[in-house]
Amino acid sequence: MTPTATPTPIEHARRDRDAALARLQDFVRIPSVSTDPAHAADVARAAEWLADRLRAAGAQAVRVDPTARHPIVYGEWLGAPGAPTVLVYGHYDVQPPDPVELWATPPFEPTLKDGALYARGASDDKGQALTHVEALAAYTAADRTPPVNLKYVFEGEEEIGSPNLEAWVRAHAADLAADVAVISDTAMVAPGQPSIVYALRGLSYLEVEVTGPPRDLHSGQFGGAVRNPINALCAMIAQLHDADGRVTIPGFYDPVRPLDDAERASLAAAPFDAGAFRRAAGAAGSWGEAGYSAVERMGARPTLDANGIWGGFTGPGAKTVLPSKAFAKLSMRLVPDQDSDTVAAQCAAHLRSLAPEGIQVEVRNLHGGQPAMIDRAHPALRAAARAYEAAFGRAPVFTREGGSIPVVALLGEALGLSSVMLGFGLPDDNLHAPNEKFEVEHFHKGIETVIAFLDALPEALA
């Protein structure tokens, strides 16, 4: 090798590790909390930051498209005519950092500790999304070009249910034409053990409002003779599961695709550390639907959870009151072939049927997303497997993920695209929780994986 030999993109990425990490630190400093109107300007700033990085990485036609709420960042690199086209999706918005007092270090002051970068969004999804931009930058810096065409879509509303993405995707369907999509927004099963996620759960998210008396009552004067809406709501929620942990909503399981023996065996073969699971959950043991393993319960079975419940008097001290109203937020994680809107309607009808006399029920559908499943034999997954193996030295396992990435179903339905879930997170990354982190090694190896994936795609798709 002569001293002047130009590095390959992967060699360049290795030399550029410190600078790439510094860029990720800049990115996570921006508190792009999509749900909080007070952070709207920060979300916009994160979009501009990302657009600038895309331009610097060599993307063309980069733009920040406004929507009714938070913008969508688009960019492309179309310098490989005749070669396949890859649509890259990621999100630059983050969950709120609450409860802030439980963070060891401030959520928007990235901190390196024990080989991980701690910050809100480090893993979900800024660190993972940025691997794709850094990969393009590595080609450009190494004076090479990717062997495929690239279209980048980064949204700022993923964590609030992507209310404006579908219309944008449909309006730009022709421009978004591609051969395959790639998304890095999932977890590997264990450090250093890559996994290809081939199924994601969907979501149906409801808010329930129950009303008893039209105004609060003295609980001594009226208690015991008037139905209490908080008591009633708790009884209704308690009836949503049976003793076997199954959801009791009529019709709920009808469209659920059963697990066959081959898939059960393949899920059981992926490493699952029950101890690490309990530590990550901080739970004494696992709970769930009878007849299924924890892995199956989280990835392949639908669930129902109360996310919040409130009503009546919740201030300090005691107040004897029989409240007029009680509220709950309920979410259901769905699996193929459940439909988010159908399940929402079934749940609302069931809640109304469970309401005792004297209690009115109102159900609002907050947001949802369809479940998704990718064919494990899709040729692009071969490129993903080779890329993971090259970067992590280990062949990936196939897993199903309990979380939701509704764009996967949307890209399938609106654009006919299969999505490769090329994730680099870990189950203990504390997503949506205090002390979110991203393994620094997974960030750098993630960049190398993306480069190796793009390099392997033309042959895999040929």
- What is the rounded end-to-end Cα distance, in angstroms, of the chain? 32
Which does residue 431 touch among Zn ion, ligand BES, none (CB within 5 to 8 A, set by kind)? Answer: ligand BES
CA 9 to chain centre: 29
Token pair for 341: 């809107």
Contact window for ligand BES (CB under 6 A) among 45-53, 183-191, 284-292, 340-348: 183-191
Question: Which residues touch 258 (CB under 8 Å, ≥6 apart)?
Answer: none
**DSSP for residue 247:** B
Which residue is associated with the tokens 């079934």? 346
CB of 157 to ligand BES, least distance (A): 9
Q: Does 340 bind ligand BES (CB under 6 A)?
A: no
Q: Toward ligand BES, which CB reaches closer, 16 or 428?
A: 428
SS3 letters for 255-276?
CCCCCCHHHHHHHHHCCCCHHH
Question: Which is closer to ligand BES, CB of 71 or CB of 406?
Answer: 406
Distances in Å between the alpha carbon of 427 and those of 272, 424, 437? 11, 10, 11
Candidate ranges 69-77, 146-154, 158-166, 248-256; the one touching ligand BES (CB under 6 A): 158-166
| Residue 399 touching ligand BES (CB under 6 A) | no
Q: Which does 401 bind (CB under 5 to 8 A by kind): ligand BES, Zn ion, none?
A: ligand BES
> Smallest distance from the beta carbon of 201 to ligand BES, in angstroms?
8
Angstrom distance (rounded) from CA 201 to CA 163: 18
Report yes or no: 446 and 140 within 8 Å, Cβ to Cβ. no
Asked if 93 is part of the footprint of ligand BES (rule: CB under 6 A), the reply reads no
Distance in Å, CB of 205 to ligand BES, minimum: 7
Which does residue 436 bind out of Zn ion, ligand BES, none, counting CB within 5 to 8 angstroms by kind?
A: none
Query: Tokens 């009115």 identify what position?
Result: 360
State how far the Cα of 22 lies from the Cα of 82, in Å rounded to an integer. 36
- Residues facing residue 332 across a β-bridge: 204, 304
Q: Which stretch binds ligand BES (CB under 6 A): 11-19, 37-45, 157-165, 241-249?
A: 157-165
- 186 interacts with ligand BES by CB under 6 A: yes
Name which of Zn ion, ligand BES, none residue 369 binds, using a CB cut-off of 5 to 8 Å depending on partner kind.
Answer: ligand BES
Pick 70 or 325: Cβ nearer Zn ion:
70
Q: Read off the tokens for 344.
A: 């929402």
428 counts as binding ligand BES under rule CB under 6 A: no
User: Among 402, 448, 447, which residue's Cα sits nearest to residue 127?
Assistant: 447
Minimal distance, residue 255 CB to Zn ion, in Å: 26
Amino acid (1-letter code) at residue 58: G
Q: Both tokens of residue 289?
A: 């639907």
Q: Beta strand 85-91 with 149-155: parallel, antiparallel or unpaired?
A: parallel
Which residues contact Zn ion by CB under 5 A?
124-125, 185
Q: Is 134 in the site for ligand BES (CB under 6 A)?
A: no
Q: Which residue is nearest to ligand BES (CB)?
A: 403
Secondary structure (DSSP) of 395-430:
PPEEEEESS--THHHHHHHHH---EEE---B-TTS-
3-state secondary structure of 338: coil
Q: Which two tokens stand for residue 129?
A: 């999304």
Q: Which of 76, 125, 157, 428 binds ligand BES (CB under 6 A)?
A: 125
Q: Which of 181, 343, 405, 408 binds ligand BES (CB under 6 A)?
A: 405
Q: Is 436 in the site for ligand BES (CB under 6 A)?
A: no
Q: Point out which span in 45-53, 179-187, 353-361, 411-419 binds ligand BES (CB under 6 A).
A: 179-187
Q: Which stretch binds ligand BES (CB under 6 A): 45-53, 104-112, 132-140, 153-161?
A: 153-161
Which residues are CB-neighbours of 31 under 8 A, at least 6 positions away?
A: 39, 42, 94, 97, 107, 108, 120
42 binds, among ligand BES, Zn ion, none (CB under 5 to 8 A by kind): none
CA pair distance 199, 333, nearest whole angstrom:
12
| Contact between 401 and ligand BES per CB under 6 A | yes
> With contacts defined by CB under 6 A, how many residues of the chain interact with ligand BES?
16
Pick from 60, 40, 42, 39: nearest CA to 51: 60
Candidates 403, 418, 422, 454; binder of ligand BES (CB under 6 A) is: 403
Q: Which residue from 24, 203, 259, 385 is in contact with ligand BES, where contact means CB under 6 A?
A: 203
Is 158 near ligand BES (CB under 6 A)? yes
Sequence-separated (6 or more) residues with CB below 8 Å from residue 433: none
Q: Which of 155, 185, 439, 448 binds ligand BES (CB under 6 A)?
A: 185
Give the binding site for ligand BES (CB under 6 A).
Answer: 124-125, 158-159, 161, 185-187, 203, 369, 401, 403-406, 431
